[in-house]
Chain A
Amino acid sequence: MDEQTLSDIQGFLLFAYRRLPKSYYLVLHLGDDPGAARRWLDRIRREVPGSAKHERGATKRVHVAFTASGLERLGVPGGDVAAAFPREFVLGMNDPDRSKVIGDQNEDAPDNWEFGGPETTSVDALLLLFGTVDSIGQLREAQQALLRDHGIQVIACHETYRPDDAREHFGFHDGISQPYIKGSARPPRSGEHPLEPGEFILGQMNEYRHPAACPVVPARHVVPPLLESGDGHVRLGLNGSYLVYRKMEQDVEAFWRYAFNNARLTGTDTVERAAVRLASGLVGRWPGGAPLVLSPDRDRAELSDENRFLYRDLDPLGHRCPLGAHVRRGHPRDMLGSSAAHSLTASSRYRIIRRGRLYGSRSRSAQRRTPDGELLGFRPPDGADQGDQPDEKRGLIFIALNADIRRQFEFVQQTWINARQFAGLYDERDALVGADVKSYRDFMSGQDIPCARNFTLQGEPIRSRFFDLPRFTRIRGGAYFFLPGRSALGYLAGAGSEQT
């Protein structure tokens, strides 16, 4: 990608801002005055950085994204949005068909959400603020003042952070496997499979050797040169992306309680070790990040960021890393079907960039360590330690970036995470983030047939199974956003002119 393209892409798409560990995500409702919303956008868009090299290194970052209703409230006619943007984006994450596809059922159903549900205030925009410990407070105050001044309502303010040890609340090193985008400014880490930019950036070439679908709408005012399509239309999607936003609450105590109560002692294992072993089996990596497939017996610090591994030759039967482990389901690499090549192709078609950050304080359950730093897990509630306060909420703000929500994020949810018969398994779902489906309605008999939340640990000479796992995570809200390119932000802000 050339310098101009990189500079047009919001920096959040290509950078995780590891050096800016503090963040606020503000979920916004824009109100009924498109003029005010546009003035606000025009005010902040100049602060939104691109992805080119010279723009790196600041201590504050501001990014902004919009839902379909948000685009309308900025003055793009609803009909134009509906005609140009994909179905799932226009209908939104809370649409019943989307819930069916991504598995937001029962306690995860949008009706129960804190924000973004069918009955709650319409989510129009997302403001993402990143800073350091020193800069974040001021950044947030300044931005909130601007929101107030322009009559924009904050529906939810998610204070999030990236912990120094890069571990999520359960205690596991997270965010290791990321797709590497050809032509991005950051150099690839070893083992990263390079993907065409169009898998994540609209209008760019994708893995099918076609430009990723780029929404084009009739121009209402002066079009920035980069976005001109030559026939009175504006390439609104160019250099943008789709941002999947989900608030996922984690029940850390339940997770570790389950691991301790169900851990199976073998040989000289302590109960802590056995619990960590079982918990790591559900994840597919050790707490430190070492992949089970490379190190089935223990965590190894030197493998904490390791991403160069495949499954088929090393572990076809799941003896090292269970076939249903979260990392296998999320990114199956070469393990699916009868051919490694087919499987790798499929795996490269359905990648997402993950930008998860934590909210809520760290649980003590995931903090206990041996003197040499090895995670011990936690035995609640009658263990040696004090449990967490019951009303403390914590979890992950899951953010995924992709060019085609249906083909990428939704596919992974539906076809891998929630597939009962994934990779030869018979009746289970992802133990960490699988859907809350207790039964399904048999359409011919009308009977409800129970579905299991089981987990199989493959082994010699025979597998063992865990039954009716409790849910460790729960979806509390979410929305599908469009993360425009910077020129498109200018266009949406109505910069430069009135009607043409």
Chain B
Amino acid sequence: MIEQRALTVVAPIREGAEGELDRLLRGLRLGPVDGVVLDLRKVKSLHFGRFVILPAMADRGVLPKLAFESNFDGSLDEHLDELYAKNARALDRIFSHCEGYAGGSGFMDFARNRSVPSAAYYRAHAGLGVKQIQSDAKVRDAIEAWLDGEQRAGRLEGLSAREIRRGLLSHLATLRIDGDPARLGPVERGLPRYPRNYLDFGLALVSRPLRIVRALLGARRHERREARDWPEQLKKLVQDRDPLLDAIHRSEDRVEQNGLTHLVPIKPGPYRHATLRTALWVVSLLARFIAVTGTLGGLDTIHFARWALLDDDRLLFFSNYDGSWEAYLGDFIDKVSPWLTMIWTSTQWFPPTRWLFGGGAADERSFKRWTRTWQLENQLWYSAYPRLSVGAVLGNARIREAAVGDLDDPALGEWLEKL
């Protein structure tokens, strides 16, 4: 079974090296820089990755940092090994802009020591490795191509579903993907089982009742006070025409997937820190037990998302999603606004909230402006399968799963319908 895992490396940038690092990363996105190439496609364990520079906070003495995100298959050691083996020069070049980077054999230790755990991690297609996803897409393409060819030659006319399937399976038996026979049939994905998962979720929740009670008890008192500050905070949110947003708009929608990076300071005080941790813990349980089959409360366009708490009192959010920002945020608001509100209500300038869940992200315009305010442009963002939506990844997997053995008639019809 393949486990998808998250790695977040956050490392302070050497003083004065930020501009150069920015240029380097942008350059590597487009091609070789001084003969150095970053080719993430060679890293077969990598689903999505990004490099992004986290800005300094002068008033708090926080230096700019480099963040590296990876969603990968297998163990961390193997992933780091592979990353470095395939891109040693580029990684040395990039991380040499960070404090304390020794290079060479130091990369693995550096990455491990600077890694920040995910406070909540969501995966839409858990258990499906990069190789599997890419292979499934090739199987799908081969099936479509075979059907097209047979149809063009008129060989499918009058055939029943069963006969079409028989022909298709005998074709697939000869199919080779990257030199190997196509891997068909189910793979072990290690998903929690229904309805046991709901029980586990409930048990986990009640195991820490005080956290939840504490968050709820303090909510109204803090929210009322914060609501009074809102009119002033609203003025601080980024204007639609702010030149800072130009670069972000330009960087979006290059393909049909996007990588959102969002970094926001946490509100001061122990109540807000504790509440944020509680909220992230609840969402992490949801992601682990409930939202395991490609949708998060009806939201079905996120491949991977994570929150991480940085030691400089900021909350980092990475998401790799399908389609446009506008569609993504619209989905947030329509489908999961209470959960997001519960988390982000503890961060700076978030729209006023009631009882942790109400308001907040449901205030469409303010929430979108707030999100843009704290959004960062990725210097470099990578997807191993930029042409596949979450729906396509899961659809291809279902086609591959059922591409072996006998099916009864309804299942057979259903299978053919997916093509």
Q: Using a CB–CB distance below 8 Å, which chain A residues touch chain B?
A: 82-83, 86-87, 90, 97, 100-101, 206, 208, 210, 213, 317, 337-339, 342, 345-346, 349-350, 406-407, 410-411, 414-415, 419-421, 424, 426, 440-446, 449, 458, 460-465, 467
What 1/0 flags go to B364-397 for Cβ under 8 Å of A? 1100000000000000001000111101100100
What 1/0 flags go to B323-357 for Cβ under 8 Å of A? 11011001101110000000000000000000000
- CB-CB under 8 A for A420 and B256, given A83-B241, A97-B249, A337-B300: yes
Q: In the complex, which residues 142-163 of chain B have their Cβ closer than 8 Å to any Cβ of chain A?
A: 144, 147-148, 151, 156, 159-161
Query: Considering residues A206, A410, A414, which has the most beta carbons from chain B within 10 angstroms of its beta carbon?
Result: A414
Candidates B39, B364, B382; contact of A210 at CB < 8 Å: B364
- CB-CB under 8 A for A411 and B161, given A100-B253, A449-B387: no
Candidates A317, A415, A449, A464; contact of B324 at CB < 8 Å: A415
Candidates A210, A411, A446; contact of B31 at CB < 8 Å: A446
Contacts of B365 in A (CB 8 A): 208, 210, 213
Docked Cα-Cα span, A406 to B369, in Å, equals: 13
- Indicate if B76 sits at the interface (CB-CB under 8 A): no
Closest CB-CB distance, A49 to chain B, in whole Å? 31
Contacts of B75 in A (CB 8 A): none
A-B contact pairs, 28 of them (CB 8 A): A82-B241, A87-B241, A101-B324, A206-B364, A208-B362, A337-B298, A342-B334, A345-B334, A346-B334, A406-B326, A407-B326, A414-B253, A415-B326, A415-B327, A419-B256, A420-B256, A420-B387, A421-B389, A421-B391, A426-B140, A426-B144, A442-B255, A443-B386, A444-B40, A446-B30, A449-B387, A461-B416, A462-B164
Candidates B39, B161, B240, B363; contact of A462 at CB < 8 Å: B161
Contacts of A86 in B (CB 8 A): 240
- Indicate if B228 sits at the interface (CB-CB under 8 A): no
Closest CB-CB distance, B292 to chain A, in whole Å? 14
- Indicate if B218 sits at the interface (CB-CB under 8 A): no
Q: Once the chains bind, are A411 and B330 in contact (CB under 8 Å)?
A: yes
Q: Once the chains bind, are B391 and A424 in contact (CB under 8 Å)?
A: yes
- Indicate if B295 sits at the interface (CB-CB under 8 A): yes
Given A415-B324, A415-B326, A462-B419, 14 more pairs with CB closer than 8 A: A90-B241, A97-B249, A210-B364, A338-B300, A342-B335, A407-B326, A411-B330, A426-B140, A426-B392, A444-B41, A460-B161, A462-B156, A464-B151, A465-B148
Which chain A residue shows the least CB distance to B362?
A208
Q: Once the chains bind, are B416 and A462 in contact (CB under 8 Å)?
A: yes
Contacts of A465 in B (CB 8 A): 144, 147-148, 151
Q: Once the chains bind, are B330 and A349 in contact (CB under 8 Å)?
A: yes
- CB-CB under 8 A for A87 and B240, given A461-B160, A462-B147: yes
Contacts of B334 in A (CB 8 A): 342, 345-346, 349
Which chain A residue shows the least CB distance to B366?
A210
- CB-CB under 8 A for A338 and B160, given A407-B330, A445-B41, A465-B148: no
Contacts of B363 in A (CB 8 A): 208, 210
- CB-CB under 8 A for A410 and B387, given A317-B417, A337-B298: no
Docked Cα-Cα span, A426 to B253, in Å, equals: 18
Candidates B253, B298, B392; contact of A338 at CB < 8 Å: B298
Q: Once the chains bind, are A461 and B161 in contact (CB under 8 Å)?
A: yes
- Indicate if B29 sits at the interface (CB-CB under 8 A): yes
Which chain A residue shows the least CB distance to B163?
A461
Closest CB-CB distance, B298 to chain A, in whole Å? 4
Which chain B residue shows the least CB distance to A411?
B326
Which chain B residue shows the least CB distance to A100?
B253
Closest CB-CB distance, A330 to chain B, in whole Å? 15
- Indicate if B60 sits at the interface (CB-CB under 8 A): no
Contacts of B298 in A (CB 8 A): 337-339, 342
Contacts of B300 in A (CB 8 A): 337-338
- CB-CB under 8 A for A208 and B333, given A424-B391, A444-B41, A465-B148: yes
Closest CB-CB distance, A213 to chain B, in whole Å? 6
Q: Once the chains bind, are A414 and B324 in contact (CB under 8 Å)?
A: yes
Which chain B residue shows the least CB distance to A350?
B330
Closest CB-CB distance, A218 to chain B, in whole Å? 15
Candidates A97, A339, A442; contact of B386 at CB < 8 Å: A442
Which chain A residue shows the least CB distance to B384?
A444
Docked Cα-Cα span, A213 to B298, in Å, equals: 28
Q: Once the chains bind, are A97 and B144 in contact (CB under 8 Å)?
A: no
Contacts of B196 in A (CB 8 A): none
Contacts of B388 in A (CB 8 A): 421
Q: Once the chains bind, are B256 and A421 in contact (CB under 8 Å)?
A: yes
Closest CB-CB distance, A318 to chain B, in whole Å? 9
Closest CB-CB distance, A33 to chain B, in whole Å? 27
Docked Cα-Cα span, A87 to B241, in Å, equals: 5
What 1/0 flags go to B239-262 for Cβ under 8 Å of A? 111000100011001111000000
Q: Once the chains bind, are B249 and A463 in contact (CB under 8 Å)?
A: no
Docked Cα-Cα span, A21 to B145, in Å, equals: 49
Contacts of A349 in B (CB 8 A): 330, 334
Q: Once the chains bind, are B31 and A415 in contact (CB under 8 Å)?
A: no
Q: Once the chains bind, are B254 and A101 in contact (CB under 8 Å)?
A: no
Candidates B29, B39, B326, B330; contact of A346 at CB < 8 Å: B330
Contacts of B419 in A (CB 8 A): 462-463
What 1/0 flags go to B39-50 for Cβ under 8 Å of A? 111000000000
Candidates B29, B159, B364; contact of A443 at CB < 8 Å: B29
Q: Once the chains bind, are B250 and A97 in contact (CB under 8 Å)?
A: yes
Docked Cα-Cα span, A442 to B385, in Å, equals: 10
Candidates B41, B413, B418; contact of A461 at CB < 8 Å: B413
Closest CB-CB distance, B83 to chain A, in whole Å? 15
Docked Cα-Cα span, A462 to B324, in Å, equals: 32
Contacts of A90 in B (CB 8 A): 241
Docked Cα-Cα span, A337 to B391, in Å, equals: 9
Contacts of A424 in B (CB 8 A): 391, 395, 418
A-B CB proximity, top 8 nearest: A461-B161, A208-B364, A421-B389, A415-B327, A342-B298, A87-B240, A97-B249, A82-B241
Contacts of B239 in A (CB 8 A): 83
Closest CB-CB distance, A312 to chain B, in whole Å? 14
Docked Cα-Cα span, A410 to B249, in Å, equals: 14
Closest CB-CB distance, B277 to chain A, in whole Å? 30
What 1/0 flags go to B1-45 for Cβ under 8 Å of A? 000000000000000000000000000011100000001110000
Candidates B39, B327, B364, B416; contact of A444 at CB < 8 Å: B39
Q: In the complex, which residues 310-330 of chain B have their Cβ closer than 8 Å to any Cβ of chain A?
A: 322-324, 326-327, 330
